[in-house]
Structure 1
């Protein structure tokens, strides 16, 4: 009998920890800390490691769970468990070959999909390049696009586009003008 999907943050954490126990992975699940993120805009989950204490915390994003539902979200849990496994055994974690192999063993996605669209977009200026990563926050590449940042695919310059308004800029001055013009609509 399949249980209903968690409807509260506490239920999600409890169900995630119980689900983690069912995954065949050499990681001390009972020793993991579990928490919810309300702030994340792109990451469905995360895994934090305290090298001094050895504590491992799996962070689950509530908005991602709401978007994905339990069935898809279990992939996020398995993904973060692979990070926990790496931290537990090696004191470090990434998305390299070791991660990929262990993720394949437990059918965990190598990357979890984003659950919201960014409000900003970096757009390559090269005619034959389709690089267009989105951004949720005004990071340095958004605020200072002309200070050494380049297209991640072809190395060309890019413009930043505010998706809702269509405004674009290539400099910090342009960013400031757009931010001022948009005001509360930023």
Structure 2
């Protein structure tokens, strides 16, 4: 950078993540080739604090970190996200694939990395089972098909019907027409 350029928040995120990655690799013997690791920051991510993409043709893993998560988490929690994504990078580099299976769980536990990261934004929609003795629920950030047409889908646990709640307004619906009605009624508040 030249004297006239300023460091951005994204520069800070990448710098801290790289430093932490070097520490994790050197202190724990994690076999990640840091020279085959790229870093990006997403200003758009709303659900995932991090992601790791594998570019098999180049043998490079790209760790993408969410700016909003960095702004909302304290550093120890965000460092956990970095370690989580490093485990994915390790799996990609060593095995050509990655998931959240046993191999991932073992390596994540060794690095004290969370298996899943806490949400850093509130969902726009909450799906809840209507069966009395079932407590299944799911959170959604986008108006996906199960949000727009809940009568076409079933509870993920008991197979019963569910309702969708627009989290901000509390308005609920169980059908596609109910979704349309809620959206029309809320208008600008949607």
TM-score, L = length of structure 2: 0.89
* 1:156 and 2:160 are equivalent in the alignment: yes
20, 30, 33: which one pairs with 1:28?
Answer: 33
Q: What is the alpha-carbon distance in structure 1 between the residues aligned to residue 120 and residue 32 of structure 2?
A: 27
Q: Secondary structure at the match of 1:22?
A: helix
RMSD of aligned Cα (Å): 1.5
Partner residue, 1:125: 130
Partner residue, 1:183: 187
Partner residue, 1:16: 17
User: Are 2:36 and 2:59, in contact at CA under 8 Å, matched by a contact in 1?
Assistant: no
Q: What is the alpha-carbon distance in structure 2 between the residues aligned to residue 115 and residue 7 of structure 1?
A: 21
Partner residue, 1:3: none
Deviation readout 1:7-35 (Å, 9 max, x if unpaired): 82211101101110111310112321111
108, 124, 128: which one pairs with 2:113?
Answer: 108
Shift of 1:52: 2.5
TM-score, L = length of structure 1: 0.91
Gap runs ≥5 in structure 2: 1-6
Partner residue, 2:4: none
Q: Secondary structure at the match of 1:133?
A: strand
Gap runs ≥5 in structure 1: 1-5
Partner residue, 1:90: 95
Q: What is the alpha-carbon distance in structure 2 between the residues aligned to residue 36 and residue 60 of structure 1?
A: 5
Q: What is the alpha-carbon distance in structure 1 between the residues aligned to residue 8 and residue 56 of structure 2?
A: 33
| Aligned length, in residue pairs | 180
Partner residue, 1:71: 76
